[in-house]
Amino acid sequence: MRVCKALSALLLASAAQAKYIVPGGRWRDTEGNLVNAHAGSIWFDKESSKFWLFGEYKIEGQEEGGGVSVYSSDDLGTWESHGLALEPVEGHPYISTEHIIQRPKVVYSEEAGQYHMWWHADNSTYGWLLQGFATSDNIAGPYEFVDAVAPLGNWSQDFGLFTDYKDGRSYALYSNGDRAEGRDVYLTSFNSNITALDEVIYRFPKFDLEAPTIIQTDKSYWALMSHKTGYRPNNVVAFRADDLSGPWSQPFIVSPLNTRTFNSQSGFSIRIEGSKKTTYLYIGDQWDSNSLWESRYIWLPVDIDERKKTLEVQWHDVYDLNVKTGEWKGVKGTTYKGKSAKTSGNAYKQEANFGTDGVILTGIYGNDSTVTFENIEGTGKPQWISFYYQNTDDMGFGDQPGGTPDRIGGSWQLRRISSVVVNGDTQNVETLYQRDTHKGIILSTPLQLTLEKGKRNTITIGGLYNGWDYKGADIDRIVVYPPEK
């Protein structure tokens, strides 16, 4: 079947060494624009010998209903834009800019000889809970709308799609809504030409989960899902089964507790069967609910132990993936500790037993209270730099259903924004978005900066306005990575 051919073709088609993958970074396409494909899915296509990324197109002023964007890549790191695969149509009953077009998935129908796109189709109040369907003869589109349906008469929310690599059969995964009668996740098979659903294979009952995806190994199926906290991140869980029809295990957390899956939500996954190794990637989203168009992508390797029946999403600031061999490795960087940084104004070094050397830099505020890392070695070329931080403004919002603040009249700040200045050049200020964290949890966010060649570079961190205040997050350390090859 076509899907099996596509996987074997992967070994022959992609000779390129992968560009670094940097979770949470500002990813740019080959034209220098930000990659705009949120809640995306990836399909490896035999005909083009490329990976194709489909996702929600979001810009300021058009956060929903913007259509489905499409990109292609040889290496999962270098992305070429092909515009909109599914474009909204003004006045259309289902795909106008007034409606919801979320979590698009594309699969090839061997029987129909077409590419089929499915997504969560809804009105602006999430009152429909439908699945949209469109087709195209070309993988890049344009896709022509066919219908929006209630799957087997049920509600559908946060749509996912999985294709079994062994037999080529495709399945839909979807939550049946937030209402009291819902709160389940359904695994339902498509018919042979992937134009409609035909049978419920399994129902995950009343776990109140969404954003489902399935990873398939030689021995097991692993279903990953997020809790229902809207755009607020939480601890993604996984289930394991020998067969799609179950029985499925109890859910278990897939990343270090209280990292909220590195501030991301699940949504898709990909199996890369290389000549030397099979690698699995978690394809997640780091949502910014204050400005959805600023949301980032968290793509991470997954470690699976069949004997222990465990699955773990592994954090790496920067990693190098060879899609031909399936091998990947974390890139090593040089660490500069907060203990050695200089502080100004009201910024200071505070005891923190969870910090590097028991110290964290705090009190960062605006232009007057800053911290500066000195004697940083650069190459004169663009380099990724990870800023390890703590931001505790959220009052634990990500773990509270509904997201209601626990103080009367409170509001979620959700993020701080720091200014980053290289070598005192205040004419060029970079913005560093620092999502919320639990207290005592250190996470990282990257920027790509160009340092002068040599060891005399400085990086100064201050605070920028985030809609509420000018505070920068507490800084633990920075890690400077070598340039991409």
Residue 14: what pLDDT?
A: 36
pLDDT exceeds 50 at position 6: no
Residue 15: what pLDDT?
A: 34
Lowest mean pLDDT among 18-32, 68-82, 314-328, 403-417: 403-417
Residue 179: what pLDDT?
A: 81
The fraction of the chain above a pLDDT of 70, given in percent, is 92
* pLDDT bracket for residue 485 (50, 70, 90): confident
Average pLDDT over residues 326-348: 98
User: Residue 153, SS3?
Assistant: helix
The fraction of the chain above a pLDDT of 90, given in percent, is 85
What is the distance, to the nearest Å, from the Cα of residue 146 to the centroid of all Cα atoms in its chain?
28
Residues of the chain with CATH 2.115.10.20: 38-330
Residue 399: what pLDDT?
A: 59
- Please give the helix or strand (H or E) that residue 335 lies within, else none: strand 334-337
Which whole-number Å values give the CA distances from 419 to 262, 346, 377, 425, in the listed order?
22, 16, 20, 12
Residues of the chain with CATH 2.60.120.260: 334-401+412-480
Lowest mean pLDDT among 43-52, 79-88, 247-256, 421-430: 43-52
pLDDT digits (tens, 9 = 90+) for 367-377: 999 999 999 99
Residue 317: what pLDDT?
A: 98
With contact defined as beta carbons under 8 Å apart, do 416 and 434 qualify?
yes
The rounded distance, in Å, linking the Cα atoms of 22 and 444 is 11
- Please give the helix or strand (H or E) that residue 146 lies within, else none: strand 144-149
Residue 398: what pLDDT?
A: 54
Average pLDDT over residues 67-92: 97
Lowest mean pLDDT among 53-62, 145-154, 412-421: 412-421
Token pair for 72: 């292609």
Alpha-helical (H) ranges within 76-118 are: none
Residue 232: what pLDDT?
A: 84
* pLDDT bracket for residue 10 (50, 70, 90): very low
Average pLDDT over residues 453-464: 98
Determine whether domain 38-330 maps to CATH 3.40.50.410. no
With contact defined as beta carbons under 8 Å apart, do 356 and 337 qualify?
yes
pLDDT exceeds 80 at position 7: no
Alpha-helical (H) ranges within 38-160 are: none
* pLDDT bracket for residue 1 (50, 70, 90): very low
Residue 178: what pLDDT?
A: 81
Average pLDDT over residues 350-371: 98
Residue 410: what pLDDT?
A: 60
Average pLDDT over residues 192-206: 97
With a threshold of 0.85, does the pTM exceed it? yes
Average pLDDT over residues 161-182: 92
* pLDDT bracket for residue 48 (50, 70, 90): confident
Share the mean pLDDT of the chain.
92
Asked if omega into 104 is within 30° of 0 (cis), the reply is no
Residue 407: what pLDDT?
A: 52
β pairing state of 100-109 and 114-122? antiparallel
pLDDT digits (tens, 9 = 90+) for 108-150: 999 999 999 999 999 999 999 999 999 999 999 999 999 999 9
With contact defined as beta carbons under 8 Å apart, do 413 and 354 qualify?
no
The rounded distance, in Å, linking the Cα atoms of 416 and 440 is 16
Residue 135: what pLDDT?
A: 98
pLDDT digits (tens, 9 = 90+) for 291-303: 899 999 999 999 9
CATH superfamily of 334-401+412-480: Galactose-binding domain-like (2.60.120.260)
With contact defined as beta carbons under 8 Å apart, do 189 and 203 qualify?
no
pLDDT exceeds 50 at position 255: yes
pLDDT exceeds 90 at position 46: no
